[in-house]
Structure formats: structure tokens, C-alpha cells
Amino acid sequence: MSKRFSPSCERNQQPILDRLLQHFASVQHVLEIGSGTGQHAVFFAKYLPHLVWQTSDMVENHASVKVWISESNLTNVRAPMDLKIGRDTWPAIPLDAVFTANTTHIMQPEEAEEMMVLIAQHLPKGGIFCQYGPMNVGGEFTSESNREFDAKIRSEGCGGIRDIEQLKRWSKGMQLIEMHPMPANNFLLVWQV
């Protein structure tokens, strides 16, 4: 069976949804960058039935996403597109929002910067980008566990936890309108074009 399960997705999906209910209330088409297992897509789409949730990830993750979608019986979640920031061109689909969770610190810095630039370029005026994950504030880790996590993922070849000020510099054309502290030393950043 190709269906995968992430305990962290299970833990964080309700706190994230509580914020998405506010920020995606008027949204019609969401692109999720890095759908991972597929858990977030079906959970959020279930409680946001007014919008279409477009999943995307690298091909090796598509099988799990497809199983989650199939088992959900939801009609507002789309099968995953092949999308890797830094490799693929931006998808030609209608969208007025973008969501990503726990991807920015996995990406290399140049990929994270490209993601911010592309989203700012492709969201329409008023479009919303919700970005979830661990972030540094003022050049500092927000917890010792985040410092240890950053060292671990960097040793595995990931780019590391980004600083919110750095993300602001990369997001030309978008404004950071909300910064929600979340459980387990994470944030949900809400950007608007």
C-alpha cells in the first residue's frame, strides 16, 4: 500500500485549519506546494468545501496523495501535479491562494527564495499565501528543540530553518499580514499580494 501517514500532520492539522477557515474564507482555488502524504489536503478540503484544493509534489510522493484523495471521496481535491521549486515551471492553473507546510526549511535557500518570488508573481491582487513551519525570529531560534532540529536537517542536506526577516526580503510584492504562533514552536505566516 502506498498510503503514508505523518503523525505531525495529524497533530498540526486542526490548529492550521482554525486559521485557514479565516484566511481562506473567500478563496476559490488553492495550490498546495509539497502535499507530502496527502493528509493535509483532504483534511482541509473537507472543512473548506467552497474551494478547490490542488495538490502538488514530486512524483515519488504522488501515490500516497492519490490514495488519501481516493479514500476521502471529496470532489474538491485535485490529483497531484508534478512540482519541484527550482526545477519545474509554475503551473498554469487558476489560483487565488497558495498553502505550504513544512517545506521552506527542507528547501535549499535559493529554492525557498524562488518559491517566495514565484508566489508573489503569480498570485492575483489580494491573493493569500499561508506558510506553515518552524521559523527563526530576529536571527534567533525560538526554542532549543528548533535549534537541534535545524542541525539535524542540515546534516541530512536540507536548507535549514529560515528567518522571517529573510522571507520578507524575498517576498517582493507580498506583505506579511499575520504571524500566528502555532504549537510545537511553529508559525503560520499569512502573506497577501
- Contact between 149 and 135 (Cβ < 8 Å): no
Residue 119 has pLDDT above 80, yes or no: yes
Residue 57 has pLDDT above 60, yes or no: yes
Per-residue pLDDT tens over the stretch 153-185: 999 999 999 999 999 999 999 999 999 999 999
pTM, two decimals, is 0.97
Q: What average pLDDT score do residues 88-108 get?
A: 96
Give percent of the chain above pLDDT 70: 99
Residue 25 has pLDDT above 90, yes or no: yes
CATH superfamily of 7-192: Vaccinia Virus protein VP39 (3.40.50.150)
Q: What residue spans define the domains of the chain? A: 7-192
* Per-residue pLDDT at 115: 97
* Per-residue pLDDT at 75: 97
User: What is the pLDDT of the chain when averaged over all its residues?
Assistant: 96
Parallel, antiparallel or unpaired: strands 186-192 and 128-133: antiparallel
Q: What average pLDDT score do residues 5-23 get?
A: 95
Residue 1 has pLDDT above 60, yes or no: no
Q: How confident is the model at residue 105 (pLDDT cuts 50, 70, 90)?
A: very high
